[in-house]
Amino acid sequence: MKIVVLNGTEVKGCTYHIKETFLSVLREGNEITEFYFPTALPHFCIGCKTCFMKNENLCPHAKFTSPLWNSILEADLLLFAYPVYALRVPSQLKTLLDHLCVHWMAHRPDKRMFTKHAVILTNSIGAPNTSAQKDVATSLNWLGVSNIKRLGFGLMEGVEWNKLSEKRRNKIEGKTIELAKKYIGIQPARKGIRVRMYFEMCRMIHKAVLKSEQIPSADNRHWIENGWIKQ
């Protein structure tokens, strides 16, 4: 299995430790590629819309986004590991999500996304992790990923791993290992109801828009080439 890790912090702290615990179960026999943000993509989307109108390879940040997207496409499991910042996903990962909008089902989805698994590992000092996890889960759904597991921790006792009590560290590690074990020898995921619904809705929209186009848009050319709509 190929695993791609999208690390939402470069600090080797709690997020790093929890992610390493997860990977410790899966290191043997699997190919792991890691990206650390913001180094992996040190730019915000500038809103030029070149990706939507023309081609994502013409994005001014394609030097960063292309290797990321290609690794994501090749992976069987996407692991997002990040701390909660201001109750949400850290902006260094949000910029990745923004740059991937062109591959949402509303634009040019890739069918390889339909069979992927994803895990979202988060932690906060104590705030609920739900909204921060939803930021990534929503994008993943629109990219076509159905099977998404979320695991979040409130550290409660501090933000330094070594200062957490042994009991808490053991509990966090135990739950992380338990989740990681579910991915040993896992089969490709299946499209869930939500993704099927989004896809069908987008297919109908693209079909309707195509009728009014003299020259099909970049999005619609993609849908035609994939055989999802007919010219």
Ligand X SMILES: Cc1cc2nc3c(=O)[nH]c(=O)nc-3n(C[C@H](O)[C@H](O)[C@H](O)COP(=O)(O)O)c2cc1C
Residue ranges in contact with ligand X by CB under 6 A: 9, 11, 13-16, 83-87, 123-127, 155, 159
Angle at 37 between CA 31 and CA 21, to 5 degrees: 50
Least gap, CB of 119 to ligand X (angstroms): 16
Phi/psi class of residue 47: alpha, beta or left (left: φ > 0; alpha: ψ in -120 to 50)?
left
- Orientation angle between helical segments 91-99 and 130-143, nearest 10 degrees: 20
| CA trace torsion 142, 109, 85, 76 (10° rounding) | 100
Instruction: Report d(CA 218, CA 59) in Å as an integer.
Output: 14
Residue 95 or residue 123: which is nearer to ligand X going by CB?
Answer: 123
- For ligand X, the closer of residues 40 and 229 by Cβ is 40
User: Which residue, among 106, 147, 154, has the nearest Cα to 128 in the 3D structure?
Assistant: 154
| Smallest separation, CB 153 to ligand X (Å) | 8
Q: Which residue is nearest to ligand X (CB)?
A: 13
Least distance (Å) between residue 78 CB and ligand X: 19
Find the shortest distance in angstroms from Cβ 80 to ligand X: 13
20 versus 110: smaller Cβ distance to ligand X: 20
What is the Cα–Cα distance from 141 to 129, expressed in whole angstroms? 18
- Nearer CB in complex with ligand X: 159/179: 159
Closer residue to ligand X, CB minimum distance, 42 or 126 = 126
Please name which of 57, 61, 20, 58 lies closest in space to residue 40, comparing C-alpha atoms. Answer: 61
CB of 157 to ligand X, least distance (A): 11
